[in-house]
A = this chain, B = another copy of it.
Amino acid sequence: MDQHYDLAHLSSVELFTPKFEESLWFFKDLLAMREVARIGDSAYLRCWDEYELYTIKLTASHTNGVGRTLYRAASQEALERRVAAIEATGLGHGWRDPEVGVGRSYEFEDPDGHLMVIYFDTERYVADDEDRPALKNQASAFPGRGVNARRLDHINYLAADVTANGKFWAEVMGSRESETVRLDDGGYGARWFRFLQKSYDVVYSNDWTGARGRFHHLAFSPDTREDILKAADIFLENGVYIEYGPYKHAINQTFFLYVWEPGGNRIEFANAGARLILDPESPTVIWSEAERAKGQAWGMKTVATFHTHGTPYVENQEEIDRLALEGKL
C-alpha cells in the first residue's frame, strides 16, 4: 500500500501556568525565546530557528497543564484526509477561523480529551532588523544566551488509556510507532510516534492516577549534548528544579534533561533531532516491562517523580512527588 506522511510536525503548544511572570522569565530569559504577541492572558513565544510565528502560547491560569496543541499537515490534501478520519471517530470539534500564526484550522480532541488542532496554512516568521540572522538559511538570529532553545521537538501526554490513544495516532492520525513499552498485562507503559524521519514527535505515557487530559512534558531540541550539559549549569545557577538528567535514555537513545518550569510543567531538553529513522518500513522497537526496569542507557534508575508528576496537579501532587522521591510511595 502506498504511504502517506500527512503530518509534517508538531507546531506549537499552549501551556497554562499559575505563575505567569516566573514562567515568562523561564522561557524568555533562560530559554532565549522571543515574545511575538501578547493577547489577553497569553504571551506568544518563539524559538529562534522556527520558521513559523510562535512555539509556545503561555497562558496565565489558576492551574498548570497543557492547552491546545497545534500540528501542521503536510499539504491541503493531507489536512482534508486527516480531518475526514478524525470526523469519522466523533472526536472532531469543527473548523476554526484563522488566528495568531495559523490560517483555517480544525479542532479535535484525542480519546483522552487533550485539545488539538490541525492546519496547513501558516504564517511564516519574518525577522526584523534586530532579529535578522547572519546566515540566510536560519529563521532568525542566534540569541547566544541561556539555553538557546532552537525548536520544539516533541510532546508527551499522560493518558488514562495509552492503548486507545496510541490506536488513535496510528490509525486516525496516520503516524508510525517507533518505540513502545509493552506491559506484562498486554497494555502499554508508553508509546512513541513519528510523523516522518524524526524518530518521534508525539508520546503517550500511562497516567497512574487515572485522570484524563494531563500532560507529562514537552521537549525542545538544542544542537548538541554539550548544550544540554550547559543547560543544566544554567538551571542550577538560576534555581530551576532539575528533576532528572542530563543522561541518556535507553528508549530512543535520547540524551535528556528534565526540569520543572516555575509553573510546575515538566520541560525536556532532548537531543533527539539527530536521530533519524530512514527505513520506511522500520519495525516498532518493543521494550518489555523487565527491559524497562533496567533503567536508562547507562544504568541509572528512572527518577520516581517521572511516574508521579504531571500537570495539571492532582490533589496533593506535591506531597505525592515528595513521597516518591523519598521512596515511600
Using CB atoms, name the residue of chain B closest to A241.
B299
Q: Which of A37-45, A96-104, A181-189, A277-285 contacts B (4 or more CB under 8 A)?
A: A277-285
Q: Which of B9, B279, B280 contacts A278 (CB 8 A)?
A: B9
Q: Which of A109-117, A138-146, A209-217 contacts B (4 or more CB under 8 A)?
A: A138-146
Q: Which of B136, B142, B226, B250 contacts A226 (CB 8 A)?
A: B226
Q: How many copies of this kind of chain does the complex include?
A: 4
Q: Which of B142, B235, B247 contacts A237 (CB 8 A)?
A: B142
Contact B8 A236, beta carbon cutoff 8 Å? no
Q: Which of B2, B142, B144, B247 contacts A145 (CB 8 A)?
A: B144
Q: Which of A13-21, A71-79, A165-173, A311-319 contacts B (4 or more CB under 8 A)?
A: A71-79
How far in angstroms is the closest Cβ of chain B from A315? 26
Cβ of A198 within 8 Å of any chain B Cβ, yes or no, is: yes
Contact B298 A75, beta carbon cutoff 8 Å? no
A68 to B255, CA, bound (A): 37
Given A2-B78, A51-B282, A223-B274: A234 touches B299 (CB 8 Å cut-off): no
Using CB atoms, name the residue of chain B closest to A81.
B2
Q: Which residues of B contact A224 (CB under 8 A)?
A: 224-226
Contact B78 A237, beta carbon cutoff 8 Å? no
Using CB atoms, name the residue of chain B closest to A147.
B144
Contact B253 A138, beta carbon cutoff 8 Å? yes
Cβ of A232 within 8 Å of any chain B Cβ, yes or no, is: yes
Cβ of A82 within 8 Å of any chain B Cβ, yes or no, is: no
